[in-house]
Amino acid sequence: MIRSESCRARYLSSFCLAATTAASAFPALCTTAAIRGSATSNSRAAFRSCAPPRCTRGTSTSTRTHASTADCGPMTGDCGALEVVRVPCLSDNYVWLLREPTSGRTAVVDPAELHPVVSELERRGWVLDAILNTHHHWDHVGANLDLKRRFPSCDIVGPRADKDRIPGIEVQVGEGDSWHLGSLEVRVFDTPGHTRGHITYWVPQAGALFPGDTLFALGCGRLFEGSPRQMWSSLSKLLALPDHTRVYCAHEYTAANARFAMTVDPDNPQLADRKMRVDAARAKGEATVPSTLGEEKATNPFLRPGAPSVRKNMGLGPAAEDWEVFAAVRAAKDRF
């Protein structure tokens, strides 16, 4: 882990406008001391409106192949570090364990099942401090209450806009809010479309994005509760993030997505190359997640409505709005 003191000082000085926590039980500690404080104080330091990212350079990671569970890091940046562990659940879900190594604070993103998560935590000797939910679907919140019983002090964090559908939610977050895992800031975007209350978590210091079912490797989520225009607006927020950002989506759908992508963007050489790598990985039982946002920008047809080739294959010309092209691609995938 690399932790530059000057960078850390800038990071600390970037806080705090106003505490916006919805959880009155966890008062905002909007002071440098609180952020610098002990491991136990940090994760409850609540939600803030924050300055733009300061330190996102230097992210690197190597993803090992997995038979069951795999480390996807550690990832290091100038201002912090984040360990990410992939825990396969159900038939094709990926649940992510996050750990800030300095404080030891540990969170899980979208726990689908209890036992795979608990067994991985126990294997590593980690104690769960927080559950981060992106949306209410059962394969993302299925273990919330069982994990809370197992780790009574852990906080259940989820979308304010969907608070009535997140089991056990204690801390409500939405667009512009920020939460902390130890010294690491976790920012929140509202990304409706797949569901009306879907949110995405971004750890700028680690270059890590947890988009749930909003963005997949070579795909995006179905529009169960939102419009194409709304989903395109959500995806556009993620497109603004740096190319090195790792995309830790919630499902292993990449091979099927690649087959569809080739029908939309068949002359894209980067897509063809990626499809070969994806197929080779899946043939060996290897995971294809995480990808990078740069890869997605270059090859994911749902993120490329401006590409002339995508427009041509969708029967749309230069006058069409990006969201209209996106809508056509999404509709084609629904029929695929």
Contacting positions for Zn ion (CB under 5 A): 137, 213
**Shortest separation between residue 196's beta carbon and Zn ion, angstroms:** 12
Task: Select 137 or 275, whichever has its Cβ closest to Zn ion.
Answer: 137
Q: Is 322 a catalytic residue?
A: no
**Shortest separation between residue 222's beta carbon and Zn ion, angstroms:** 8
Please count the residues of the chain: 336
Task: Select 3 or 222, whichever has its Cβ closest to Zn ion.
Answer: 222
Find the catalytic residue in 136, 137, 180, 198. 137
**Shortest separation between residue 139's beta carbon and Zn ion, angstroms:** 7
Residue with tokens 């294809």: 288
Q: Is 251 a catalytic residue?
A: yes
Find the catalytic residue in 136, 140, 180, 198. 140
> In sequence order, what are the residues at sequence separation of 6 or more whose Cβ sits closer than 8 angstroms to the Cβ of residue 169?
133, 156, 157, 158, 163
Q: Is 212 left (phi over 0), alpha (psi -120 to 50) or beta?
A: left
Find the catalytic residue in 78, 190, 213, 265. 213
Q: Is 136 a catalytic residue?
A: no
The residues that bridge with 188 in the sheet, in sequence order, are 201
d(CA 228, CA 333): 13
**Shortest separation between residue 209's beta carbon and Zn ion, angstroms:** 16
DSSP-assigned letters across all residues of 105-143: EEEEES---HHHHHHHHHHHT----EEE-S---HHHHTT
Q: Which two tokens stand for residue 256?
A: 């099927």
Q: Is 198 a catalytic residue?
A: no
Task: Select 190 or 213, whichever has its Cβ closest to Zn ion.
Answer: 213
Task: Select 129 or 213, whichever has its Cβ closest to Zn ion.
Answer: 213
**Shortest separation between residue 191's beta carbon and Zn ion, angstroms:** 12
Backbone angles phi, psi at 279, to 5 degrees: -60, -40
Find the catalytic residue in 66, 136, 180, 194. 194
Buried b (16+ CB within 10 A) or exposed e, 125-136: ebebbbbbbbbb
Q: Is 139 a catalytic residue?
A: yes
Task: Select 137 or 333, whichever has its Cβ closest to Zn ion.
Answer: 137
> Which sequence positions are flagged as catalytic?
135, 137, 139-140, 194, 213, 251
